[in-house]
Amino acid sequence: MVSEHSESTADDASAMALKILVAGGFGVGKTTLVGAVSEIRPLRTEEMLSEAGQLVDDTDGVDQKVTTTVAMDFGRITIRSGLSLYLFGTPGQDRFWFLWDELSQGALGAVVLADTRRLEDCFPAVDYFEHRHIPFVVAVNCFTGARTYGAADVCRALDLDQGTPVVLCDARDRDSGKEVLIRLVEYAGRMHTARLLDSVG
């Protein structure tokens, strides 16, 4: 007879937690996405924007933004029984990029959030993950009042590698954010399987 404790231990052993990064430019919605999907109270390291920061933080197009992430955001979401994602939101400004190498260690993949009003702001994140062969999806955060572009248009504008998924989303909406994460897990799974087959082929 299997004890209740043994069943619990078996469930814990079969549970899988995957590390996902949420990246992108300044003010694109990374903190919002992590907060919207997280089933725990998200850890945030936000500080008020200061006058000193105005010299280095480009707030053009995000005039209403009053805080900025200075280390990372952290949240957790259960995709299905036995599969949880740990979400790490990266800081968007160049001066905090030294944190990216630490945060990316052991990551399954990344979500690169994009704002079509400032599409060039996500180029550094795209380059970062492409050069390190970390699977990623581009999630276009559809801001109210911004011109709408299709996934194919964004793919061409960013000159993405063939097959890199581009999805439209609303970072404020939990279901929308969850769909982005599911797409990433599926895509990263295919990429890792393909690499494994190449290595034994």
pLDDT of 178 higher than 80? yes
Sign of the alpha-carbon dihedral angle for 126, 123, 183, 180: positive
What tens digit of pLDDT does each residue of 94-136 get?
667 778 898 999 999 999 999 999 999 999 999 999 999 999 9
66-83 mean pLDDT: 79
Mean pLDDT score of the chain, rounded to an integer? Answer: 84
pLDDT band (50, 70, 90) for residue 50:
very low
* Higher-confidence position of 153 and 12: 153
CB 152, CB 167: distance < 8 Å: no
pLDDT of residue 154: 95
CA 149 to CA 122: how far, in whole Å? 16
Q: When comparing pLDDT for 175 and 65, which is higher?
A: 175
- How far apart are alpha carbons 68 and 49 in whole angstroms? 6
pLDDT on residue 12: 56
List, in sequence order, every beta strand (DSSP E) within 34-120.
Answer: 46-48, 67-69, 73-80, 83-89, 109-114
The pLDDT value given to residue 58: 53
Q: Which of 139, 104, 181 is CA-nearest to residue 25?
A: 139
Highest-confidence segment of 25-29, 45-49, 69-73: 25-29
Give the pTM.
Answer: 0.80
